[in-house]
C-alpha cells in the first residue's frame, strides 16, 4: 500500500471557481482518500510539502492521435508498424510529462497501446481509444487521391481510418471495434483538412448510417464522436444522437442552442489549426490541404463563443500530427484564452473532458474516491494560463493513479 499526503497547497478541484489555500490531499494507492483544509495525519504516510503551490487534477486531451509522426497520410499508411508504435510510445510518454494524465485517441488508437500503458511497460497517460475512425468512400477518412484506381474495388483501410458504406457496414465495423474494447466510435460527418478529395463543406454519411453507429455504441453503453467542421454537420450530430462534436469549427448561435438542449458537447481543437497555419508544409501537409484552413481560426473562436453563450459544455483537444509539433499540446489552453476565461479553460481540460469521456465519476476532479491524477504547478494558471507551456520548469509534480511520473518536491 502507498500512502501520501500532499500538504499546504492552493487547490483547484476541477469544478469550483473558488481556489482555496492551505489545503491538504491524502492519496492511498491509486485513489484520493481525503481532501481537507486541516493538516492530515496518517500513520505511515509520506508527507510532501507543496509550499503553497497550485494543485489541480491532471489534464485530459480528448483529441490526441498516438500514431501521428507526420501529416503526410500517404507516408503514414506505409510506415512499418514497429516504427509507428515507437513514435506512439514517444508521443504518449511526452504527453504525460506535460501533465496530460489521460488522452482520448479518436482515430487509430488501439487496444495494444492501451495495454502497454495499463501494464506499466511505458510511463504514459491513461489511454482511451476507439480503434479506426469510420469514413464513407470519398470522405475525410479516405486518404486515397482522386487519381488513384483500386483494381480490387476494395475499401480503404489506413492507420487512422477505415472506409465503410451503408448501414450494415457501419454496424459491422462499429461492432468489431467495440468488441476490441473501444471506449467510443468515431465517425466523419463533414469534410476535413488532411484528406485529398473532400471539401470542408461536404456532408458525409447518411443519417441512417450515423444512427447505426450511435445504436451500436449504445449497446455497449459507449458513445459516438463526430469529426465535424460545419454548422449543418453539428445539427446532424444533434439529430442522430452523437455525444462529442469534435472541432465544431462553424457553429452558429442557433445551432449552439440545439447542442445545449440535446446535452451534447463540443471539443474544439485550436492547436492543430495553429500548427497548420504556421508549419503545415513542414509537418508534411500538402498545400491544397493547408489552403482549407484559411479563416478557420476565427470561425473556431467564434463558435466557442456561441457555444459558451448557449450553455454548451465545451471540452478540449489538440489533434496534432508531426512528432516535432506535439509540444504544442501544452499551448492549447493559451490559444483558448483568446475567447475563454482561465477558469473555464481549466474546467474544460479537467472535469468537463472527463464527463464527455464518460469518466466523470473517477477522473477530472480532486475529490475523495477519484483517481489520484494530480499536478502541482509553481504558479497559478488562473493568473497565467501559459504556465502549462513551461511544464519542464514550472510543473514539479505529476502523479497518475497515485504513482509519480515526476516529483521534484522531495
Q: What is the pLDDT along the chain (410 residues), one digit of tens a residue?
A: 899 999 999 999 999 999 999 999 999 999 999 999 999 999 999 999 999 999 999 999 999 999 999 999 889 999 999 999 999 999 999 999 999 999 999 999 999 999 999 999 999 999 999 999 999 998 888 866 655 666 555 678 899 999 999 999 999 999 999 999 999 999 999 998 878 778 899 999 999 999 999 999 999 999 999 999 999 999 999 999 999 999 999 999 999 999 999 999 999 999 999 999 999 888 888 888 888 888 999 999 999 999 999 999 999 999 999 999 999 999 999 999 999 999 999 999 999 999 999 999 999 999 999 999 999 999 999 999 999 999 999 999 999 999 999 999 98
Structural domain containing residue 231 = 59-356
Q: Are residues 30 and 112 in the same domain?
A: no
Q: Are residues 206 and 114 in the same domain?
A: yes
Largest CA distance in the chain: 71
Three-state DSSP string of 322-352: CHHHHHHHHHHHHHHCCCCCHHHHHHHHHHH
Angle at 151 between CA 185 and CA 202, to 5 degrees: 45
Number of domains in the chain: 2
Q: How far is CA 315 from CA 61, 283, 307, 336, in A?
A: 9, 25, 11, 11
* Chain centroid to CA 365: 17
- Do residues 87 and 161 both lie within one domain? yes
- Claim to verify: residue 49 and residue 72 sit in the same structural domain: no
Alpha helices in 68-190 (DSSP H): 73-77, 81-97, 111-118, 167-179
Same domain for 20 and 10:
yes
* CATH number of the domain encompassing residue 233: 3.20.20.140
| Grid cell digits, residue 349 | 481540460
Q: What is the CATH number of the domain that holds 39?
A: 2.30.40.10
Same domain, 80 and 227: yes
| Same-domain pairing of 145 and 52 | no
Do 209 and 339 have their domain in common? yes
Whether 50 and 63 share a structural domain = no
Same domain, 7 and 28: yes
120 and 33: one domain? no
- Cα angle 178, 179, 184; round to 5: 15
279/385 same-domain check: no
Buried b (16+ CB within 10 A) or exposed e, 221-240: ebbbbbbbbbbebbbbbbeb
Amino acid at each position: 500500500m502507498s500512502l501520501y499526503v500532499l500538504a499546504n497547497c492552493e487547490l483547484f478541484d476541477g469544478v469550483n471557481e473558488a481556489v482555496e489555500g492551505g489545503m491538504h490531499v491524502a492519496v492511498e494507492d491509486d485513489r484520493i482518500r481525503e481532501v481537507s483544509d486541516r493538516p492530515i495525519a496518517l500513520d505511515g504516510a509520506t508527507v510532501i510539502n507543496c509550499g503553497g503551490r497550485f494543485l489541480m487534477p491532471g489534464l485530459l486531451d480528448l483529441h490526441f492521435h498516438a500514431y501521428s509522426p507526420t501529416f503526410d497520410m500517404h507516408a503514414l499508411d506505409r510506415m512499418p508498424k514497429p516504427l509507428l508504435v515507437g513514435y506512439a510510445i514517444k508521443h504518449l510518454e511526452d504527453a504525460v510529462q506535460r501533465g496530460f494524465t489521460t488522452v482520448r485517441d479518436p482515430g487509430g488508437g488501439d487496444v495494444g497501446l492501451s495495454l502497454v500503458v495499463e501494464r506499466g511497460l511505458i510511463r504514459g497517460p491513461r489511454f482511451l481509444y476507439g480503434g479506426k475512425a469510420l469514413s464513407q468512400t470519398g470522405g475525410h477518412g479516405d486518404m486515397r487521391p482522386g487519381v488513384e484506381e483500386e483494381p480490387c474495388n476494395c475499401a480503404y483501410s489506413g492507420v487512422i481510418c477505415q472506409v465503410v458504406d451503408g448501414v450494415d457496414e457501419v454496424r459491422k465495423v462499429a461492432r468489431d471495434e467495440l468488441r476490441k474494447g473501444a471506449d467510443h466510435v468515431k465517425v466523419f460527418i463533414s469534410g476535413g483538412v488532411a484528406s485529398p478529395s473532400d471539401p470542408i463543406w461536404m456532408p458525409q454519411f447518411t443519417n441512417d448510417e450515423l444512427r447505426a453507429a450511435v445504436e451500436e455504441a449504445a449497446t455497449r453503453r459507449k458513445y459516438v464522436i463526430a469529426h465535424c467542421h460545419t454548422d449543418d454537420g453539428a445539427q446532424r450530430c444533434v439529430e442522430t444522437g452523437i455525444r462529442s462534436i469534435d472541432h465544431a469549427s462553424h457553429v452558429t448561435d442557433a445551432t449552439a442552442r440545439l447542442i445545449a438542449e440535446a446535452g451534447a458537447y463540443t471539443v474544439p481543437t485550436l492547436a492543430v489549426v495553429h500548427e497548420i497555419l504556421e508549419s503545415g508544409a513542414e509537418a508534411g501537409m500538402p498545400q491544397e490541404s493547408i489552403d482549407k484552413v484559411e479563416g478557420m481560426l476565427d470561425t473556431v473562436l467564434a463558435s466557442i463563443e456561441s457555444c459558451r453563450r448557449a450553455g454548451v459544455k465545451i471540452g478540449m483537444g489538440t489533434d496534432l500530427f508531426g512528432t516535432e509539433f506535439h509540444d504544442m499540446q501544452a499551448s492549447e489552453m493559451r490559444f483558448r484564452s483568446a475567447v475563454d476565461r482561465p477558469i473555464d479553460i481549466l474546467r474544460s481540460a479537467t472535469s468537463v473532458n472527463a464527463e464527455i469521456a464518460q469518466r466523470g465519476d473517477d477522473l477530472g476532479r480532486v475529490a475523495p474516491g477519484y483517481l489520484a491524477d494530480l499536478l502541482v504547478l509553481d504558479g497559478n494558471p488562473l493568473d497565467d494560463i501559459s504556465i502549462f507551456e513551461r511544464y519542464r520548469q514550472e510543473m514539479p509534480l505529476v502523479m497518475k493513479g497515485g504513482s509519480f511520473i515526476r516529483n521534484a518536491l522531495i
